[in-house]
Amino acid sequence: MKTSISQNGKKYNVVLTGRIDTTTAAQFEQDMKPLMDIENGDITIDCADLEYTSSQGLRTFLTLQKKVMTHNGQLVLTNMQAQVKEVFDITGFSNIIKIV
pLDDT tens profile 21-49: 999 999 999 999 999 989 999 999 999 99
The model carries a pTM of: 0.94
Average pLDDT value for residue range 49-56 = 96
Nearest C-alpha neighbor of 48 from the set 76, 15, 20, 94: 15
| pLDDT tens readout for residues 74-100 | 999 999 999 999 999 999 999 999 999
Per DSSP bridges, beta strands 2-8 and 11-20 are antiparallel
Per-residue HEC secondary structure of the chain comes to CEEEEEEECCEEEEEEEEEECCCCHHHHHHHHHHHCCCCCCEEEEEEEEEEEECHHHHHHHHHHHHHHHHCCCEEEEECCCHHHHHHHHHHCHHHCCEEC
Strand partners, 17: 2, 49
